[in-house]
Amino acid sequence: MIYLILTFILLLLMIGAAIYAIWQKDLLYAVIASGIISLLLSIMFVLLQAPDVALTEAAIGVALTTIIFIIAIRNTVRFEDEHDKKIKKEKQLKSAEQ
Amino acid sequence: MEKYLEILNYAIYGAAILLLLIGLYGALTKKSLIKIVLGLSIMDSGVHLLMISIGYLKNGTAPIFSPGHENELAKMVDPVPQALVLTAIVIGFGVTAVALALVIRLYKHHNTLRIDEIKNLKW
Amino acid sequence: MVGTPVLFIVIPLLAAFIIPLTGMVWKNSVRIIPGIVLSYMLILSISLLWHITETGTVIEVIAGWKPPIGINLVFSPFSGFFATLMIFLGLLVWVYSYKFKRNIDSEPALKYFILLMLLVTGSVGIVLTGDIFNMFVFIEIVGISGYGLTSFYTRRDSAEAAFKYLFMGSIASTFLLLAIMIVYSQLGTLNIAEIADKMPMMSNKLKVISLIFFMLAIGVEAEMFPLNGWAPDVYTQAPGPIGAAFAGIVAKAATYATIRVMFTMYDLSGAMDFLIVMGILTFIVAETTALRQDRLKRMLAYSSIGQMGLVMVAFGIGTKEGIFAALFLIFNHAIIKGLLFFSGSYLVYTKKEKHISDVNGMGKYLPITSVLFTIGAFAIIGLPPFSGFWGKLAILTAAADSKMVALIAIILSVSVLEAVYYLRVVNRIYFFPKKESMETQKPTINALIAMISLGIIILVIGFYPDLITGFIDRAAADLMDKTGYIKDILTINN
Amino acid sequence: MDIINIILLVFLAGALLTAFAGKVSSIVQDTLFLITIIVPAILFFLNININSETVISLSKIQLTFGLTPLSLFFAFIVFGLAILAGFYAVGQMQGKKRKGYLYFNFLLSIAAMFGILVSKDLVSFFIFWEIMTWSSYLLVIYNGKNVQQIGIKYFVMSAIGAYAMLMAIVIVHSLTGSFLISDMIDGFADMSAGMKLLIPILLLTGFGVKAALMPLHIWAPDAYSNAPMSYTSVFSGALSKMGIYGMVIVFMTLITKLPQESLIRDIIAWLGAITAAISTLWAIKQDDAKRLLAYSSIGQLGYIVVGVAIGTPLAMLAGLFLAFMHGVFKSTLFMVVGAVEKQTGTSNLKEVTGLIRKMPWTFLAALISIIALAGIPPLGGFVGKWMLYESLITSNHYLLVTLVFFSSTAAFLYCYKFLFGFFLGQEEKEWAHVKEAPAIMVVPMLILSAISVVLGTFPQLILKPINSALAFYGMPDTYNNLWKESMIFNKWGDQVALTPIVYGIAIVFVIFAVFLFFKNRKTSRYVTTKDISTSGEVPKEYENLTFKENFFQPFLRAVEPAMRRQMDKYMLAFAKGLEDLFDFTRRIYNGNGQTYAIYALLFVILLLLLSNNLFS
Amino acid sequence: MKKAIILISLTILGVYLIDIFTGIGFGTQHFASGVKDAYLIGSKETLRVSNVVTSIVVNFRGFDTLGEVTVLFLASMALGGILYKKRHDVGERSVLFPSTRIVMSGAKLLFPSIVLLGAYVFIHGHLSPGGGFQGGTIIATGFLLMLITYRNYSVSHNRLSWVESLAGVLFISLGLAGYFVHDSFLANVFPEGKLNDLFSGGVIGIIYVAVGFKVAAELTGIIYTILHEKD
């Protein structure tokens, strides 16, 4: 009973985090949200009697994947719409010049 | 009450499928390369959850013979999906790492992360 | 006998793990060891191919667990034919690119050969394995080595191509997992033979849906029509010989997987017709697109996709003649496309863009390469007396025997287009004045060896197809014998 | 090892050796080339054995070779022309580039033609057919002029034909279980009505392409005029006859078993006649001798097709006789053009003029062949045409005979234009240095001209083999009844009666020609072509007022409506449209990786929605 | 427009998937007889490995694991190729955030215990949850911690290669030992021991240790390469 409700809450959180990760324009937050999904997922795995998988997911999904995403963001841009802003700014500059 | 809660069990399937769909949606609609990779990895998570929950047995135990409980074979959850997911997670990580390396290089090359602007190769 | 099927996988992996160590001591070992390993694999596969004509299919179990418990490798006439062909082509790619990279000391150049070797290994693994999840692992091996090889040249748009490939590949592998899981949940096994055996136990709905997911997953690698957007980019951006490797090795392995899944595992009646429709679509779209290309390698890539569509059609015909035709086409395609990629990349070697117009007048400067390209072009059009003709005749005969007259008409009319775009290139090679800015690069001796041996095979098979029809016949019979396959694997006594 | 295999091997080995012998020495190459043509011919003619059969068996397919009387007849044409054109080619290629290339493909196409003739099964027939196609393709693009248009056009048309044939072949195989031609003929009666109609139509399409039948002829003018002339003489003389060979077989064995027999015969005959008429008009319009002859070839092939399609014994005889004659005189004429082109550097009828005294032997060959072509009595062309007219009239094809007669008459115009353009007219200083072509080129022409003369006198020499060839396919014995059927042979008693008349005409003709020749020689004086009276008007310097300019303008103006619609243009427009369509479809691959992934999703969805219909 | 099509398609896909999976059912065994029981019994009786997942991963389906470590090996190799730079281009690695003294000393303290934990996890892979992958990953996270806190902490590339290669060779040679002794690749050549003993399962424990080292080295290599990418 309590497990069921706990599971349900976990699942809701997970979906929420997933939607947040896709919706969020700030890639860093999105990535952290996906790390949270992995964390919740590994708890789910424990609940589903899969401790081996849970360990793996915790180590790989939460730590390593998140970190390499963050490194990738460091090397590129942080905001999803950064490029659009750049173009907008260029346009504004151009119109200002004219 | 118990019966209604029974349906909650299927929530795991539902959530897993939703994760898969949300990830796929992100991968198919978002323009940012990193978002796409993120979507793919969320999609993978969904499938992993789905696989594990398929192998689950109600009131089952983990497939480990702990001392004193050596004879509970029938109660053990299916270990095969777990082994498969273990493999799949590691492979998924390898693919994600390669994908992100490609994203970094693409960014250097094109100075943008928008997938619809990275199309030198077409037709 | 030199060994057992498991060595096809283990020896290259062992070599791959050792090479980074030997490479620290002796730089050249990085190039040489893969060659040795590939030659060993070729010898092994040929000896096994002879061996099985006497003893029948060789089935090897891993870790001493009989199927369906353990993973098993199957070297049957059918899979052995694929494996031998792919290893042979892999060896030729190695020969061709032995001196391909001028500055061998640079680090990626060292990786090239390992990635190549593992690409071949993964493809051989897909073909040999008798376990569906193991196939998934090998598909991933092929995929990642493919991404690595595609993005090998840092200056081209190779990362873009690799990313598209990876994007499609990830979606495919996700759905492959899903499909495997649906099948496992119903049948409780991952062994292909046992799945095939138990398939009637699955409800029709699940069958159909899991088959669709399988089709999506394998169709991506097999370059099926709406899923093949990545393929031309990868063929174009990968180093020259890797185009040949993709066409001759990866696409072949994926086709094998398609057939194993659709033909052996599933017993759905519409599946074969579906394969014909997809194949024809792939064929038409790819060939018409190839007609309008202005880059040589892209043209070759689309042509290769189209040929794979034709192979799918031939398999879809489903009769023994159809499968015979498909295998002959596969053989031809591997050999001929290999030659075309090999020679084509020297014709446009020095140019970055690799326009078709860059081949203008090369007949004078690169005579041997040009003649070989011409032979390849004539062979792929299906002109006798080159080997391509027999494949085309076989598929048409098979289609006619199954009373598919419209299919014949479609294949033949698209073949006319194929002839047009290849002849345009050949005309350019011989009859157009050379561009002023175009420099030529003479092929190195090892590249010439690889190309000439392919050219000789095309001619020899063209004159005397019986050299391989025996093997192909046995392979086709082996594939048709579905119950035999199941029985062989499930009743093995080790 | 049968003689046929040996001959094919000799050809192949010879072709390969010849191609690379150029590295050793030019003379060795020439010698090898000639040996490779002559040796098989000798081997073949010494070992003619109609009944022998060779089988090369591959695991799936058996390739069967053997001779039939019909193929023997065509083999005469092929080998005869090949030897003569071979010698001619050696002369023509002296000091030119790409000699090995020409020799190699020349030999291969001869070998392929031979292979076609000795094939008794459809697969080897097709194999040799395709080898013939690509080797001739490589020669069509030989001079590198506009190859993307001309070459591709030739190849596409050939491929359409060949693939139509291949389709018929595989269907026949699926129905009869055998590739043998004899099995196809035997099993034809048992096929369903649809297949019965489809197979002959497909085969006729295949053969019609090579026979340059409307509307499949569009490749021919360009291809004939672009190949080197030494090859075109074989191309037009022998290779196009392969189409006729196939048509003869189809008409004699398959069409006769059809309920729609007369309809198909009429359609093909009309197509042939229209081809003849239209291409004759086009030939008249041409200023380039090569193109003129190319159109003329198409027209002549049209007659042959009419004869074969009508299919009465006399018409068949006429068709095949014309086929032989056409092989003889048209290759002579192409050789003449080649010789003139080699000596003057151009084949434009407006530029070259007055070569009669510079190249008398060439002129003689041209004259005789032109007379034969025009169908003027003493020479062979007349016999064939007469038989054709007669067969058409006796089989009540009055409209058809009018059309054929019209085009035959119109052919006089281009005949005259050709002869006048090169050889007659005033001599220009520009061509003063021109000499007669080397003997190795002239002698083949003269031999062929001699054949034309001889056959005009003794048509039975060739009618007899034709007769026995047709008898093989069950045609009633026509030859021995000829005087009952044809006027030309019978009104005066027997067929020999023709001979004295011909002799008389020939003697008068020769005497007159010699007389003119000597007379003109003494009194001639040089006048430029511009020096002509113009009714008081003063011609400007640049106006070329020779009447070679717009030679037959009034006539052409009269027939212009018939020529306005060009099949060529329609086909080109169609091809262009197709390419535009493909340009549109390739936008499926729009370069965006995400779109490809969306395709994947849609693929799955589509399959899911259709799953009930797809997999049941 | 595009989004609408995708949403509709995804909905259809979702409906189909939910339809299938509710049909399959949750929490029950869906098939009558499968390999599952063979694995459970085989693990207990024959291999004497108490963690069934481990025995599947290493022995029953050990070939998958071999492929899997190859995938990681390939990934690190492909990564090196993709982010390849000439030697002199390799500068200092970018640091995600400036680390304070507390973080630095904390990391230094934590590092040995993380590595130890990882080692424990893969040594006990056949007894308790965890194993080569998990332990290897944990060790890799330890190195990750050091790499991101210390600007000039470096891992010798050669040494990583050595570890990686030797571990791989060990894996394969143990498999080959089975091949030569029992004619079957990966077959057990050591005594199985007793269930729930540290030295049980014969070759499985050793292979898992090798896998642990290999995974640790490969993951560290991947992180190292990607961290050295400068913007």
Rounded to two decimals, the pTM is 0.91
Q: What's the whole-number average pLDDT of chain A?
A: 86
pLDDT at E124 over 70: yes
Higher pLDDT, D47 or C126: C126
Cβ pair A52:E94 closer than 8 A: no
Q: Find residues 29-48 of chain B whose CB sits inside 8 Å of chain D.
A: 29, 31, 36
Task: Assess whether pLDDT exceeds 80 at residue D550.
Answer: no
Indicate the residue of C167, C213, C288 with minimum beta-carbon distance to D597.
Answer: C167
CA distances from A63 to A55, A68, B75, D231, E143 (A): 11, 9, 32, 77, 12
By CA distance, what is C134's nearest residue in B?
B84
Cis bond before residue D465 (omega within 30° of 0): no
Q: Give CA–CA dist D79/D114, Å, rounded.
A: 8
Residue E214 CB neighbour total at 10 angstroms: 27
Q: Band of the pLDDT at C357, cuts 50, 70, 90? A: confident
Nearest-by-Cβ selection for E129 from A52, A59, A60: A52
The burial of A85, by beta-carbon neighbours within 10 Å (0-12 exposed, 13-18 middle, 19 or more buried), is given as exposed
Residue B24, domain CATH: 1.10.287.3510
Instruction: Quote the pLDDT of residue B46.
Output: 92
- The domain tally of chain A equals 1
The predicted pLDDT at position C454 comes to: 92
| Interchain contact, D601 vs E12, CB within 8 Å | no
Taking the alpha carbons at both ends of chain E, their separation in whole angstroms is: 36
Mark yes or no for CB contact E229/B20 under 8 Å.
no
Q: Note the pLDDT tens digit of each residue in E72-99.
A: 999 988 888 888 765 545 555 655 567 7
Confidence of residue C174 (pLDDT cuts 50, 70, 90): very high
Looking at the predicted structure, is the pLDDT value of residue D490 above 70? no
Residue in the block written with tokens 């048309």: D157
How many beta carbons lie within 10 A of that of residue A6, not counting itself? 13
Q: How many CB atoms lie within 10 A of CB E231?
A: 11
CA–CA separation, C164 vs C175, rounded Å? 17
**Ranked by mean pLDDT, which of A3-17, C169-183, C353-367 comes out on top?**
C169-183
Number of alpha carbons in the 13 Å side-chain half-sphere of residue E122: 28
Nearest CA in chain A to E224: A68
> B58 to chain C nearest CA, in Å?
15
- Whether residue B20 lies within 8 A of chain D, CB to CB, comes out as no
> What percent of chain E lies above the pLDDT cut of 90?
10
**Beta strands D62-66 and C58-61: pairing type?**
unpaired
Quote the CA–CA distance of D396 and D266 in Å, as a whole number: 12
CA–CA min distance C179, chain B (Å): 10
Q: pLDDT tens digits, residue range B17-44?
A: 999 999 999 999 988 899 999 999 999 9
pLDDT average, residue stretch D38-58: 80
d(CA D502, CA C417): 54
Rounded-to-integer distance, Cα D468 and Cα D461, Å: 12
Which of B105, B121, B122 to substitute to test the interface with C, most C CBs within 10 Å? B121
Beta pairing, strands D62-66 & D53-57? antiparallel
Instruction: Using the Cα atoms of residue C241, residue C246, residue C250 and residue C252 in order, give the sign of their dihedral.
Output: negative
In a domain, B113, yes or no: yes
C415: closest CA among D164, B114, B70, A41?
D164
> Helix E203-227 crosses helix E157-182 at what angle (to 10 degrees)?
150
Average pLDDT over residues C335-341: 91
Contact D597 B121 (CB under 8 A): no
Instruction: Note down the domain range covering E123.
Output: 31-227
pLDDT band at D492 (very low <50, low <70, confident <90, very high): very low
Q: Do C232 and B121 touch (CB under 8 A)?
A: yes
The mean-pLDDT minimum among C128-137, C347-356, D484-493 falls in D484-493
- The pLDDT of residue C465 is 86
Task: Calculate the average pLDDT of chain C.
Answer: 87
D165 contacts D202 by C-beta, under 8 angstroms: yes
Label residue D111 exposed, middle or buried (CB < 10 Å: 0-12, 13-18, 19+): buried
The mean per-residue pLDDT over the stretch C467-481 comes to: 89
Tokens of E151: 């600007």
Q: Is the peptide bond before C67 cis (omega within 30 degrees of 0)?
A: no
Read off the pLDDT band of D145 (50, 70, 90): confident
Residue C72 bridge partners (DSSP): C61
**Neighbour tally for C368: CB within 10 Å:** 15
Model confidence pLDDT, tens digit, residues C271-280? 888 889 889 9
Q: Do C187 and E31 touch (CB under 8 A)?
A: yes
Least reliable range by pLDDT among C192-201, D212-221, D344-353 = D344-353
Q: 3-state DSSP call for residue C137?
A: helix
pLDDT of residue C91: 93
C-alpha dist (Å) from residue D421 to D366, D425, D442, D573 = 12, 7, 19, 34
3-state SS, residue C159: helix
The band of D100, judged by pLDDT with boundaries at 50, 70 and 90, is confident
Q: How confident is the model over D286-297, as pLDDT tens digits? A: 878 888 888 888
Sites in chain B below the pLDDT cut of 50: none
E9 to D609: CB separation less than 8 angstroms, yes or no? no
Pick from D141, D593, D604: CB nearest C212: D604
Q: pLDDT band for E189, please (50, 70, 90 cuts).
A: confident
pLDDT at D520: 62
E223·A68 Cβ contact <8 A: yes
- Higher model confidence: residue D204 or residue D21? D204
Among C96-100, E9-13, E205-209, where is mean pLDDT lowest?
Answer: C96-100
SS3 at position B88: helix
Q: Which residues pair with B114 in a beta bridge?
A: B32
Which of B25, B67, B73 is facing E40, going by the closest CB pair?
A: B73
Of E68, E78, E82, the CB nearest to C137: E68
Report DSSP letters for C396-452, one per residue.
HHHHHHTT-HHHHHHHHHHHHHHHHHHHHHHHHHHHSPPPTT----PPPHHHHHHHH
Whether D532 shows a pLDDT value over 70: the answer reads: no
Is A18 in contact with B103 (Cβ distance < 8 A)?
no
Summary mean pLDDT of chain D:
80
3-state secondary structure of C73: strand
- Segment E112-127 shows an average pLDDT of 87
pLDDT digits (tens, 9 = 90+) for D227-262: 888 888 888 888 888 888 888 888 888 888 888 788
Cβ-based burial of D368 (10 A; exposed 0-12, middle 13-18, buried ≥19): buried
Nearest to D216 by CA among D249, D247, D259: D247
Over residues D157-178, the pLDDT tens digits come to 888 888 998 998 888 888 888 8
Q: Quote the pLDDT of residue E231.
A: 47
Could you give the CA distance from residue D272 to residue D407 in angstroms, rounded to a whole number? 11
Instruction: Give yes or no for residue D484 having a pLDDT over 90.
Output: no
Please say if the pLDDT value at position E115 is more than 80.
yes
In chain B, residues with a C-beta closer than 8 Å to the C-beta of C161 are: 121
Within 10 angstroms of residue A94's Cβ, the number of other Cβ atoms is 9
| Chains A and C touching, counted as 3 or more CB pairs less than 8 Å apart | no
What's the CA gap between E174 and C312, in Å, rounded?
41
- Find how far residue D430's CA is from the centre of its chain: 34
What is the C-alpha R_g of chain D?
A: 26
Question: What number is the average pLDDT over the span D192-218?
Answer: 85
Binding partners of E (≥3 Cβ pairs within 8 A)? A, B, C, D
Query: Would you say residue E35 has pLDDT above 70?
Result: yes
User: By percentage, how much of chain C surpasses pLDDT 90?
Assistant: 31
| Residue E151 resides in a domain | yes
Residue given tokens 């392409």 in the structure block: D209
**How much is the average pLDDT of D80-97?**
83
Q: Which pLDDT belongs to residue C467? A: 86
Tokens describing residue D303: 């007659």
Q: What is the pLDDT of residue D576?
A: 87
Instruction: Give the Cα separation of D383 and C232 in Å (integer).
Output: 62
The span from the CA of D552 to the CA of D557, in Å, is 9
Whether D84 shows a pLDDT value over 70: the answer reads yes
C107: pLDDT confidence band, cut at 50, 70 and 90? low
Percent of chain C residues topping a pLDDT of 70: 97
CB D419 within 8 A of CB D367: yes
Q: Is there a domain that residue E8 lies in?
A: no
Q: For residue A96, give how far its alpha carbon lies from the nearest alpha carbon of chain B (Å).
A: 24
Which residue in chain E is spatially nearest to B107 when comparing CA positions?
A: E231
Would B123 be classed as within a structural domain? no
- Touching pair C, E by Cβ (3+ pairs < 8 Å): yes
The answer to whether position B122 is within a domain reads no
Write the DSSP symbol of residue A48.
T
Asked if D12 and D111 touch (Cβ cutoff 8 Å), the reply is yes
- State the CB neighbour count (10 A cutoff) for residue D472: 15
- Comparing alpha-carbon positions, the chain C residue that sits nearest to B100 is C163
pLDDT level of residue D493 (50, 70, 90 thresholds): very low
**Contact E75/B95 with Cβ under 8 angstroms?**
yes
Per the structure, the complete domain to which residue A77 belongs is given by 2-97
Question: If you average pLDDT over residues E34-59, what whole number do you get?
Answer: 84
- Which residues, 6 or more positions from D496, have their beta carbon under 8 angstroms from its beta carbon? none
For residue C433, give Cα distances in angstroms to A15, C415, D142, D225, E198.
Answer: 64, 28, 14, 22, 77
Report the domain count for chain B.
1
Give chain B's mean pLDDT: 86
Position B117 scores a pLDDT of 83
